[in-house]
Amino acid sequence: MALITRGARRVPTQGTSPQTGQDAATPAPATGNTIARYAAAAARLSLGWIFLWAFIDKTFGLGYATESKNAWIDGGSPTNGFLKFAATGPFKDTYNDIAGATWADWLFMTGLLGIGIALLAGIAMRIATATGALLLILMWSAVLPPENNPFMDDHIVYAILLVLLTALGAGKTLGLGTTWENLPIVKRHPILK
């Protein structure tokens, strides 16, 4: 390892830096953090669109997952089909009992809309994560065991991803998270972050 003297200090020019443990000749890439921030923002926006799209399709029956005759605005129930016919496993009877209940429809649809908007905007990430993860875990529990795995499915992965995105502050990149967190009410009540 060659050393260059700067003032009274000797600076390594190659090998491992004693301060950082990194190769002194190879600085850490400055773009790594930027890439991670934008990837997290892209994941947040993607999940937000998944929730918001589910709300839109179930409301208007656009023919993707919900036929037009089953649209919520035309009197269809957003929870009836899934909870009545797709529920399996140990909680099947419980989910069958609440399928099509007005309170369940409103709670489900309000959740989809609120979570979708919050994730797309990058605001209220803690509340969006808590409610989104709860909704996803409930949907997972309705189809136990999952079709292609003994216990793991996309609902669990999405719930974990929501928690990770909130922990990373993903609402601040390509979102309104920084502005949101500087609002006086959010500063007074950090649960709103």
Domain for residue 8, yes or no?
Answer: no
Domain for residue 6, yes or no?
Answer: no
Domain for residue 122, yes or no?
Answer: yes
Instruction: List pLDDT tens digits, range 121-145.
Output: 999 999 999 999 999 999 999 999 9
The total number of structural domains that make up the chain: 1
Instruction: List pLDDT tens digits, range 41-90.
Output: 999 999 999 999 999 999 999 999 999 999 999 999 999 999 999 999 99
Residues 6+ positions from 193 with CB-CB distance below 8 Å: 124, 125, 126, 180, 181, 186
Domain for residue 92, yes or no?
Answer: yes
Contact 132, 161 (CB under 8 A): no
What's this model's pTM, rounded to 2 decimal places? 0.82
Domain for residue 47, yes or no?
Answer: yes
CA distance 128 to 108: 13
Domain for residue 19, yes or no?
Answer: no
Domain for residue 61, yes or no?
Answer: yes
Domain for residue 167, yes or no?
Answer: yes
Structural domain span for residue 72: 37-192
Residue 89, sorted as left (phi over 0), alpha (psi -120 to 50) or beta, turns out to be left
